[in-house]
Structure 1
Amino acid sequence: MLAALDDHADVEWNVFGLIDDDRVEPGEPGWGALGTPKTMLTGKNGAIFRSGGAMHRAGVRLESWDEPPESPEGPWDAVWADEITLTSGVLRLAAVTAGVSEETLRVGPPGVYAVRVCCRGRAAALEAGFMPYTGEVVEHWVMQFWPR
């Protein structure tokens, strides 16, 4: 592993995002315009993830690797994989209305990266989505990035 960041995502309306610090060029859609994913959707400089619950806090670990890593240990409710194009290589989490995280992770230079996303706690997130927002972490994500 080259680097890792443990952060939190404020899930709103079942989704949260991941953005490259270059974000998008004027006229290009941002991460929120990628659509409504059943799991996740990636695009240039961003991705959107569908949570198990509507409104809650999720723990998210971002990992940068120089080659395809082993899957993270532990039981996972879901595992997805895709590619993402990054123009700066610096990532941060984003919420629909709560803004973006102050924490960043440099996954590497600009380029195309493979991403594996593992999630657990989806049932707990679904249950938490019907209660008042408490900030308690009920869903956990690991996102692993390596160059294509």
Structure 2
Amino acid sequence: MTPLAEVECLVSPERRLILVCGDAPQDTGFVPDFGTGRLCYSDRDVLYLVSVSDYHDASVTLQTWDAEPPPDPAAEHSEAVEVELSRGGAFVSALLGPRVSPVLRVGPPGRYHVRVDVTGREAVRLRLVDLDDRPSGVERFVVAFWPTGG
């Protein structure tokens, strides 16, 4: 089983956050309770991914699937949410920053299941001991979208 389409980019987390935005104008006013310690928070046209640190460049891959993808056995942590995409597309952005990935055409406007898998968190923690080393692509997020069927 392979994804129908995917886009990948590197992004520098700001305040440990990475945004995955729908390609509709953003004005949800959504502010998650980050004290709950989750990997991913969702609202209409936005996902907040929580990184292990600010001081690195994370790899983010967005994928679209026609059904639930197989689990990633290498994932250190996974979380499932749902998101409504008003126009059916999504892209990666730094917090309050410009788009850093192409738009992934997920499908028609509507609700989607999302699973976020992440690897490399412990490796980033270990490398951050050396302040001269800025890890790039070590923490890897895979954000998979598939239809809710409803």
TM-score interval for Structure 1 and Structure 2 normalised by the shorter chain: 0.7 to 0.9
Deviation at 1:134, TM superposition (A): 3.6
Correspondence for 2:139: 139
Cα displacement string for residues 119-148 of structure 1 (whole angstroms, at most 9, x for unaligned residues): 011122234556357462220111110010
Alignment of 1:1-148 (within 5 A): 1-25=3-27, 28-29=28-29, 33-36=31-34, 38=37, 39-72=39-72, 74-129=73-128, 131=131, 134=134, 136-148=136-148
> Identity, % of aligned pairs?
26
**RMSD after superposition:** 2.1
The range that moved more, 5-14 or 107-116, is 5-14
Q: Secondary structure of 2:124's partner?
A: helix
| Count of aligned pairs between the two proteins | 143
The range that moved more, 106-115 or 52-61, is 52-61
**Aligned-partner residue type, residue 46 of structure 1:** V
Contact 1:55 1:128 (8 Å CA) reproduced: no
Q: Secondary structure of 1:52's partner?
A: coil
Whole-angstrom CA distance in 1 between matches of 2:95 and 2:141: 18
**Aligned-partner residue type, residue 11 of structure 1:** P
Whole-angstrom CA distance in 1 between matches of 2:16 and 2:51: 5
Q: Secondary structure of 2:12's partner?
A: strand
Whole-angstrom CA distance in 2 between matches of 1:76 and 1:102: 22
The range that moved more, 128-137 or 86-95, is 128-137
The range that moved more, 34-43 or 83-92, is 34-43
Deviation at 1:20, TM superposition (A): 0.5
The 1:102–1:117 alpha-carbon spacing in structure 2 relative to 1, beyond 3 Å, is: closer
The range that moved more, 128-137 or 7-16, is 128-137
**Aligned-partner residue type, residue 141 of structure 1:** F
**Aligned-partner residue type, residue 120 of structure 1:** T
